[in-house]
Amino acid sequence: MAEQKEPKPKGQKGKQGEKGEKADKAQAAPSAPVKKRDENFRYIVRLVNTDVDGNKDVVIGLSSVKGVGMRTAEIIARMAGIPKKVKMGDLPEEKTTELEKLITDYSEKVPHWMVNRQNDWSSGADLHLVGVDVELFKRDDVNMMRMIRCYKGIRHENGHKVRGQRTRSNGRTGMTMGVMRKKEGPAQATAEPEKKE
């Protein structure tokens, strides 16, 4: 006769029963709704000659423009009336143009201490440099320092550290060298064998 299996009480479950139940729950659980992008969504937004990722939030996207930090990006977004969490790709073309205009006119709309180039030596104006201008002005400044032969210019020219850092152990260039031992003189060489005896 075939043996009949005793049914287990409802409170107790075997290992296989638990695994099977978990798998059933995983299949039955509805998956998270996938957000469909709007057909006008732009994956790359062009701002001040910079490609900005459209999937990033407005503040993060603005800060990817050279010369615009997080603080500046938040101020520009607030001026434009755009919430922080909106994606760059969801913005219409008019808003993008408005953002670009705000970035270029930033120095005129904020106090002088909020710009990144105060009291420019050639014009005396307070400027906020963005994009390619940051590198251009930096190169011009270094070339000017070299030309007038000031201390910083000479250090730049020779490739040394400019701002007073130590150079003995850090910032070494050229051939690598280990620690050099002092050469033994003739008096030291004769003294050592006598000690051994």
Question: Distance between CA 126 and CA 116 in Å, rounded?
Answer: 8
Whether 40 contacts 63, CB under 8 Å: no
For residue 45, list its beta bridge partners.
Answer: 52
- 3 state DSSP class of 45: strand
Confidence of residue 187 (pLDDT cuts 50, 70, 90): low
- Which domains occur in the chain, in start order? 44-114 (1.10.8.50), 131-165 (no CATH)
CB-based contact 68:62 (threshold 8 Å): yes
Nearest-5° Cα angle at 116, 139 to 144: 25
Whether 1 has a pLDDT exceeding 80, the answer reads: no
Which of these ranges, 24-33, 61-70, 180-189, has the smallest mean pLDDT?
A: 24-33
Q: What confidence category does residue 119 fall into, taking pLDDT thresholds of 50, 70 and 90? A: very high
Cβ proximity of 95 and 103 under 8 Å: no
pLDDT of residue 192: 63
Token output for 93: 């073309």
Predicted confidence at residue 169, as pLDDT, reads 87
Looking at residue 182, what is its pLDDT?
Answer: 75
Residue whose entry in the numeric block shows the structure tokens 């299996």? 5
